[in-house]
């Protein structure tokens, strides 16, 4: 979009001012009292021309949203072993996976997003000799293990576990939040194998004063300063002692890839992936909420009470993110599909809900005016995502958006648009949508 000598892209326009973007791009008259029914006359003509098709449900289309056909940012960037991922940052390396590449029921290593805070350590040639120290104020008998000892001493358990970056979906917040501008692809559900953290902690002895655990790791700070820690987070004891919280040495029945924590990592499914420390070297059993790097301030925290968009929230008013919210993803078809209007279209994807199960998934072809219930499979185990399938038919040729909405077992549903604003752009669980042109 040009103005004088300044050019602004569609994503920037919608990020800076969604309502103004609608006016600038489609020429609509902004109605502050309604976010529906704006596409008429020249606005409708402009958008349908950009999309290359009529829009049968234009009168139901919410304002302030980039049409899904124009919102795709999944151009591939090459990372060894990660073909097709989109790199958001290279120092530290952060990359997400386009939704259509997340179609596997068990996420392969080649499709799992990358979220680093520091520089990974070199790959060790002797993974079984990698050390893990367990201690802390509330550890009765601090001790050290090697990966080889963990494998010999403790029963191995395997679970499919959802890992999702707390900032997944950040790119949709308005006003914009700082940080990696994740869209939908900072999530995956691989199969992890290791010792239960509970078994390791009980082997060392847990004092009654235990409140939290915190982890330490072998990655280095971007500055190169060995005294600075990139990240050291943790979870309350109730999460640490769950069956599914693992000290893992394998992913999908193979050694964990280096980018994902080889040779040892913590895995706390259903919570922000920042609690699942990679290149794990230490676990501290704390008598207080862990105070490591990125545990304070606004890091992985949201306002305890709703805050006005763009407002400043004092640290005392911020609460640590725990269980992630209910969410869903359309993994097939790929956005931009051209499909015969007379034929049924099969959809599928995944849904997950942090510590909870998903109770239902619904899909819509008319911008959320009506919903159709999808078939929903049970999870492979607790904290795994759930597969869903649906079929839809389009009443006439034209441009459509397919929306998916999941509901958890406590009745909480995904919002149709971006949820409550927070300073760091966490926990966006708005409905996923893709574009289809029926012909």
For the stretch 329-372, pLDDT in tens is 999 999 999 999 999 999 999 999 999 999 999 999 999 999 99
pLDDT surpassing 50 at residue 2: no
Region(s) of the chain under CATH 2.60.40.650: 327-438
Query: What is the mean predicted confidence (pLDDT) over 112-141?
Result: 97
Residues 6+ apart with CB under 8 A from 61: 36, 38, 39, 55, 367, 401
Spatial separation of the C-alpha atoms in residues 360 and 77, rounded to whole Å:
35
What pLDDT is stored for residue 51 in this prediction?
72
Question: Sorting pLDDT into bands at 50, 70 and 90, what band is 5?
Answer: very low
Structure token digits, residue 190: 């691989």
68 secondary structure, DSSP code: G
Question: Sorting pLDDT into bands at 50, 70 and 90, what band is 50?
Answer: low
CATH number of 327-438: 2.60.40.650
pLDDT surpassing 80 at residue 35: no
Whose CA is closest to 259, among 111, 150, 105? 111
C-beta separation of 251 from 188 below 8 A:
no
Class of residue 297 by CB neighbours under 10 A (exposed 0-12, middle 13-18, buried 19+)? exposed
Question: Sorting pLDDT into bands at 50, 70 and 90, what band is 104?
Answer: very high
CATH architecture of 97-320: Alpha-Beta Complex (3.90)
353 secondary structure, DSSP code: B
Spatial separation of the C-alpha atoms in residues 61 and 20, rounded to whole Å:
16
What pLDDT is stored for residue 36 in this prediction?
44
Region(s) of the chain under CATH 3.90.420.10: 97-320
Strand 131-135 and strand 280-286: the pairing is: parallel
- Could you give the dihedral angle defined by the CA atoms of residues 237, 243, 247 and 250, in that order, rounded to the nearest 10 degrees? -160
Structure token digits, residue 341: 């209007």
Query: What is the mean predicted confidence (pLDDT) over 396-405?
Result: 97
Spatial separation of the C-alpha atoms in residues 255 and 239, rounded to whole Å:
25
Which tens digits make up the pLDDT trace of 202-211? 999 999 999 9
What are the distances in angstroms from CA 332 to CA 17, 59, 70, 436? 31, 26, 18, 11
pLDDT surpassing 50 at residue 4: no
Spatial separation of the C-alpha atoms in residues 438 and 337, rounded to whole Å:
8
What pLDDT is stored for residue 278 in this prediction?
98
Q: Which helix (H) or strand (E) holds 90?
A: strand 86-90
CB count in 10 Å sphere of residue 227: 6
Which tens digits make up the pLDDT trace of 259-318? 999 999 999 999 999 999 999 999 999 999 999 999 999 999 999 999 999 999 999 999
pLDDT surpassing 70 at residue 73: no
Q: Which tops the pLDDT comparison, 204 or 22?
A: 204
Spatial separation of the C-alpha atoms in residues 191 and 158, rounded to whole Å:
7
């Amino acid at each position: 979009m040009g103005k004088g000598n300044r050019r602004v892209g569609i994503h920037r326009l919608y990020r800076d001012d969604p309502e103004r973007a609608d006016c600038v791009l489609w020429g609509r008259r902004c109605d502050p009292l309604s976010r529906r029914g704006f596409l008429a006359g020249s606005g409708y003509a402009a958008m349908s021309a950009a999309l290359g098709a009529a829009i049968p449900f234009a009168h139901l289309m919410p304002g302030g949203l980039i049409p899904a056909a124009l919102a795709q940012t999944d151009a591939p960037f090459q990372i060894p072993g990660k073909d097709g991922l989109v790199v958001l940052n290279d120092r530290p390396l952060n990359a997400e996976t386009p939704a259509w590449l997340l179609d596997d029921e068990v996420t392969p290593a080649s499709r799992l997003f990358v979220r680093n805070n520091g520089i990974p350590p070199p790959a060790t040639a002797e993974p079984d000799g990698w050390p893990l120290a367990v201690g802390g104020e509330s550890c009765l008998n601090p001790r050290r293990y090697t990966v080889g000892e963990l494998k010999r001493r403790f029963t191995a358990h395997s679970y499919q576990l959802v890992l999702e970056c707390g900032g997944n979906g950040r790119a949709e917040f308005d006003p914009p939040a700082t940080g990696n501008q994740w869209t939908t692809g900072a999530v995956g559900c691989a199969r992890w194998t290791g010792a239960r953290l509970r078994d390791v902690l009980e082997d060392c002895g847990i004092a009654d004063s235990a409140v939290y655990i915190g982890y330490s790791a072998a990655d280095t700070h971007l500055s190169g300063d060995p005294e600075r820690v990139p990240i050291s987070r943790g979870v309350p004891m109730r999460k640490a002692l769950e069956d599914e919280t693992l000290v893992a040495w394998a992913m999908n029945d193979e050694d964990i890839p280096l980018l994902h924590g080889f040779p040892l990592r913590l895995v706390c499914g259903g919570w922000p992936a920042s609690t699942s420390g990679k290149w794990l070297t230490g676990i501290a059993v704390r008598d207080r909420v862990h105070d490591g790097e990125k545990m304070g301030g606004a890091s992985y925290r949201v306002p305890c009470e709703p805050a006005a968009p763009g407002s400043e929230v004092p640290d005392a008013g911020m609460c640590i993110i725990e269980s992630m919210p209910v969410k869903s993803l359309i993994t097939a078809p790929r956005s931009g599909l051209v499909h015969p209007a007379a034929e049924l279209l099969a959809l599928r994807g995944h849904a997950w809900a942090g510590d909870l199960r998903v109770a239902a998934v619904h899909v819509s072809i008319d911008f959320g005016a009506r919903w159709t219930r999808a078939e929903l499979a049970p999870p492979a185990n607790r904290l795994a995502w759930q597969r869903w399938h649906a079929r839809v038919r389009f009443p006439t040729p034209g441009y459509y958006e397919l929306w998916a909405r999941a509901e958890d077992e406590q009745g909480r549903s995904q919002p149709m648009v971006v949820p409550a604003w927070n300073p760091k752009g966490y926990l966006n669980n708005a409905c996923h949508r893709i574009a289809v042109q029926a012909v």
